[in-house]
Amino acid sequence: MHSYPAALHRTIMVVDIAGYNDPKRTVAHLHEVHEGLWGVLRRTLAETGVSWEACLIENTGDGAMFLLPPDMAKADLVTQLPERMLGELRRHNAVHTVEARLQLRLAIHAGEVHRGSHGSISPAVNYTFRLLDAKVAKVAQKQTGAQLAIIVSEEFYREVVKHDPAADSDAYRQILAEVKETTAQPWLRLLGGTPGNDLSVPPPAPHRILPRPQSSLPELIEALLAIPCVRDGQSRRLLLEVFRRREIAEIVPYHAEDRLHVIALARTCQRFDGGMSDLLDAVRTIEPESPQVEALALIIEAWPDPRIR
């Protein structure tokens, strides 16, 4: 059995100070900006009903990452939090010089997160940071003077924002985010901008088909090991017994060490046309529904070679 805990499905919120490294800011200004950020975050979460102690928080220097408690309703992040955070920003900015004022960008997504000894390990976390760094959002915030820019992933918008009238889904515009190897179409909402400064950044082409990020073998192995029926040696034997295609199950090399056996299982399935889909079907036979199984399904769907799906 592997020596680290399985991933948990968490809501991910990352925040960044716009223009943090502006040369006009002195160390004194940066001190006020830094303290102001944490004050705004603490008060906003308290007003939204989120326990600070229940969050896993990582300081990123010019911002922060929050893994929110699983029992928090995701809708609260787009119905209550935006206006409360904007109010806190206005209070801070009203009593500080221009150089010490705050403009924040906030990105929200959800996904599987592993906890390592020195922080979080998660493609979903990496993806959220990519959304936060979207150039279109930065340009739009600068153009409008918005005190707060909220970027939500396409999945979060589709599953949370559009289903709650209080989230004001019409206030969002879909944008194109191209950051490093990530290409996505998140949704952007701007709050607290200068009146009359309307957003003129064009949205992405409505019918553009984005390339799906390709999965990697290490990502696949971690997803498999996060599933109890695959991680445990006894249930893994049962998994091989229910495999639909015996020509796959019967040639998987055995390894006493769990991780090595799972790697052998994955690599064997890769060699067969449709083998990855057969693996997913076998897993679902033993464990029909769980966030970990759905995460595996997404990885297999995004596998780079379509012949093995």
Buried b (16+ CB within 10 A) or exposed e, 117-133: eeebbbbbbebbbbbbb
In the predicted model, what is the mean pLDDT of residues 52-74? 90
Q: Which residue has the higher pLDDT, 119 or 153?
A: 153
On the question of pLDDT at 206 being above 60, the answer is: no
pLDDT, residue 234, reads 86
On the question of pLDDT at 186 being above 90, the answer is: yes
What CA–CA distance (Å, rounded) separates 5 from 113?
10
Task: Give the rounded distance of the alpha carbon of 147 from its chain centre.
Answer: 23
pLDDT, residue 71, reads 84
In the predicted model, what is the mean pLDDT of residues 148-166? 94
pLDDT, residue 164, reads 93
pLDDT, mean over the chain: 86
In the predicted model, what is the mean pLDDT of residues 284-301? 81
Which of 13-27, 213-227, 265-279 has the weakest average pLDDT? 213-227
On the question of pLDDT at 225 being above 80, the answer is: yes
> Which range, 30-44, 241-255, 295-309, has the best average confidence (pLDDT)?
30-44
**Rounded to 5 degrees, what angle do the CA atoms 282, 122, 295 make?**
25
Cβ(78)–Cβ(152) below 8 Å: yes
On the question of pLDDT at 304 being above 80, the answer is: no
What CA–CA distance (Å, rounded) separates 209 from 158?
17
Q: Which helix (H) or strand (E) holds 67?
A: strand 63-68
Cβ(141)–Cβ(149) below 8 Å: yes
pLDDT, residue 3, reads 55
In the predicted model, what is the mean pLDDT of residues 130-149? 92
On the question of pLDDT at 11 being above 80, the answer is: yes
What is the three-class DSSP state of 226?
A: coil
In the predicted model, what is the mean pLDDT of residues 8-35? 93
On the question of pLDDT at 90 being above 90, the answer is: yes
What CA–CA distance (Å, rounded) separates 191 from 87?
10
Give 204's Cβ-side CA count (13 Å radius): 21
pLDDT, residue 298, reads 81
Confidence of residue 305 (pLDDT cuts 50, 70, 90): low
What CA–CA distance (Å, rounded) separates 26 from 1?
52
On the question of pLDDT at 214 being above 70, the answer is: no
In the predicted model, what is the mean pLDDT of residues 91-119? 90
Which amino acid is residue 156, in one-letter code? F
Confidence of residue 127 (pLDDT cuts 50, 70, 90): very high
Confidence of residue 40 (pLDDT cuts 50, 70, 90): very high
Which of 52-61, 65-74, 82-91, 284-293 has the weakest average pLDDT? 284-293
Q: Which helix (H) or strand (E) holds 2?
A: none
Cβ(102)–Cβ(89) below 8 Å: yes
Percentage with pLDDT > 90 across the chain? 50
